[in-house]
Amino acid sequence: MANQPRVERLGRYAGILALPVLAAGLYLGLLWAPPDAMMGDVQRIMYVHFPSWIAVALAYTTGFVASILYLVKRQARLDYWAQAGIEVGLVFNISGLITGSLWGRPTWGVYWTWDPRLTSTAIMAITFAGYLVLRSFIEDPDTRSRVAALVATVGFLNVPIVYFSVKWWRTLHQPQSNPSTVDPAMVLPLRIMMVAFTLLAYYLMTRRYLLAEAEGSIERESLRMEAANG
Amino acid sequence: MSGSEWRRVWTVVWKDTLTERRTKAAFNAMAFFAGMVLLIFAFALGPDTPGIGPMGQTLLQYVSPGLLWVAIMLTAVLALGRSFQIELENGALEGLRLYPGERRSIGIGKILSNVLTLAAMELLVVPIGAVLYNLDLWSKLPALAGVLFLATIGLAAVGTFYAALTVNLRAREVMLPLLLFPVMVPVILGAVKATNLILNGSLMQDELGTWVRLLIVFDVVFVTVCTLTFEYVLEE
């Protein structure tokens, strides 16, 4: 409980900082940067799509690391971080899938292709949605934390295996861009949006963490009352 | 793993096999369920619909690798759920927890007994599928058996892990497939692709090797992970 004010404060700073960075990134991405040579203005969805996946990676990795640490150390706050990471990760995961579909329709002609990255990230979303559903079905807090940590660990380890298996299954996605293949005028807004989404993901995770902590303390309190009243 | 640990593993396998042989509860349910699933595919796709490709197959023959594996996967979830539900009666799970020695021997024992149950189920599903869909399997049996074996180990390992985690839940019938299916994707992909290469001819050895390697990697990773974490899985 001791670090609660610190988490709150750092999260608040990140949230406040995210706002102007997000505004700058959106302005540069939507108005300032040149349209794509082939795709035109449609390509501007990249400035939201790609940073979403950065946030996904950040949040799920937080959830995975916190889950493993929970199994070793058994501290409730690690479970709160795991829950926060996976829940925020799932939000950005779904946002990434939706923006990707919207981008895919005008460029590939379809909303959905069975491309490895699409398919494996969709399976990733189902895996972690299962994690969140599972949590809601377990009443005992310690059992819930332990089972959830195991499910998160195995689910996360499975992601690369799913990715490579689907990749061998078929492949179509445009090769990943890197700064040398992208116009510098596009790189700048993309970088800014990546920073903005990182701050945003961190902010959301701290809020979710604080909420989980509040829920946890209420839950423990009511269990104690129950035990006291026999 | 020492000799005494293997003896403990064997005891768990023996206990499960004996229980199943005497009750036949899981096996009977599985057999009829799997048969019904295979029939339903024929109803859904039509028994005489012509398939794609030059070989003059019916659609059922053409897609049979996928159908067989979906039937196996759906039936496996039933079987895997059962493997820990039987422990709920009369507090048997408590007894299992009190079992001396390392917890992982219970985990390995449960995985092995699930491999046996799933193998028994596959011994039914594959011939029934072959008869219903008119597949010629005889010449391809050794390769097919190898793929079935590798995929079964993977299914049993992840299945045992999630069945043990969800056994105490009210909603276990919903939760087990929801957690298990996404993790099973690589096995199903590898198994379907390998089976397809074996059944529908054009044996491209390289490609078959890729899928077999995927199955082996999955087996190694998940047998290791599920065995190592079983201690945490069975905690009270």
- d(Cα B50, Cα B52) in Å, to the nearest integer? 7
DSSP 3-state of B91: helix
Mean pLDDT of all residues in chain A? 86
Task: List the one residue out of B156, B166, B152 whose CA is nearest residue B233.
Answer: B166
Q: Other C-beta atoms within 10 Å of B131: how many?
A: 11
Residue of chain A whose alpha carbon sits nearest to that of B175? A134
Mean pLDDT of A66-74: 93
Residues 63-122, chain B, touching A (beta carbon < 8 A): none
- d(Cα A36, Cα A43) in Å, to the nearest integer? 6
The answer to whether the Cβ–Cβ distance between A150 and B233 falls below 8 Å is: yes
State the pLDDT at residue A57. 92
Cβ proximity of B73 and B65 under 8 Å:
no
| pLDDT exceeds 60 at position A2 | no
User: Would the CA dihedral through B147, A165, B71, B40 be positive or negative?
Assistant: negative
- d(Cα B33, Cα B79) in Å, to the nearest integer? 11
The shortest C-alpha distance from B232 to chain A (Å) reads 8
| pLDDT exceeds 90 at position A132 | yes
Nearest beta carbon to residue B170 from set A137, A161, A162: A137
Lowest mean pLDDT among A25-34, A206-215, B214-223: A25-34
Task: Please tell me what DSSP assigns to residue B46.
Answer: -
Q: Which residue has the tokens 């959301």?
A: A204
The shortest C-alpha distance from A137 to chain B (Å) reads 7
**Hey, what amino acid is at A196?**
A
Q: Where are the domains of chain A?
A: 4-172+182-216
Domain that holds residue B59: 3-233
Query: H/E/C letters for each residue in A101-147?
Result: HHHHHHHHCCCCCCCHHHHHHHHHHHHHHHHHHHHHHCCCHHHHHHH
State the pLDDT at residue B205. 61
Cα A83–Cα A84–Cα A86 angle in degrees, nearest 5 = 65
| pLDDT exceeds 50 at position A77 | yes
Angle, to 10 degrees, between the axis of helix B3-23 and the axis of helix B103-133?
50
Residue A21, CB-side half-sphere exposure with 13 Å CA sphere: 19
Nearest beta carbon to residue A154 from set B178, B183, B210: B183
Quick one: tokens of A141? 């807090």
The shortest C-alpha distance from A57 to chain B (Å) reads 18
**Hey, what amino acid is at A91?**
V
State the pLDDT at residue B180. 92
The answer to whether the Cβ–Cβ distance between A146 and B235 falls below 8 Å is: yes
A71 and chain B: CB distance < 8 Å anywhere? yes
DSSP 3-state of A40: strand
Task: List the one residue out of A161, A179, A74 whose CA is nearest residue A116.
Answer: A161
Cβ proximity of A183 and A70 under 8 Å:
no
State the pLDDT at residue A26. 86
Per-residue pLDDT of chain B (236 residues; tens, 9 = 90+): 678 888 888 988 999 889 888 887 778 888 889 999 999 998 998 877 777 766 677 888 888 899 999 999 999 998 898 888 888 877 788 888 888 778 888 889 999 999 999 999 999 899 999 998 888 888 888 889 999 999 999 999 999 999 999 988 888 888 999 999 999 999 999 999 899 888 876 655 667 888 898 899 999 999 999 888 888 888 87
Confidence of residue A178 (pLDDT cuts 50, 70, 90): low
DSSP 3-state of B8: helix
Highest mean pLDDT among A15-24, A59-68, B225-234: A59-68
Nearest beta carbon to residue B186 from set A71, A155, A165: A165
State the pLDDT at residue B20. 84
Q: Which residue has the tokens 């979830």?
A: B77
Mean pLDDT of A194-207: 92
Task: List the one residue out of B200, B195, B231 whose CA is nearest residue B212.
Answer: B195
Q: Which residue has the higher pLDDT, A57 or B99?
A: A57
Using left for φ > 0, alpha for ψ between -120 and 50, and beta otherwise, residue B166 falls in alpha
State the pLDDT at residue A175. 57
Mean pLDDT of A197-218: 92
The tens digit of pLDDT for each residue in A141-151 reads 889 999 999 99
Cβ proximity of A60 and A128 under 8 Å:
yes
The tens digit of pLDDT for each residue in A89-110 reads 999 999 999 998 888 888 888 8
The answer to whether the Cβ–Cβ distance between A161 and B235 falls below 8 Å is: no
State the pLDDT at residue A133. 93
Residues 107-126, chain A, touching B (beta carbon < 8 A): 123-124, 126
| pLDDT exceeds 70 at position A171 | no
Nearest beta carbon to residue B161 from set A146, A154, A162: A154
pTM equals 0.86
State the pLDDT at residue A180. 62
State the pLDDT at residue A172. 42
State the pLDDT at residue A176. 59
Taken as a whole, chain B contains a residue count of 236
- Per the structure, how many domains does chain B have? 1
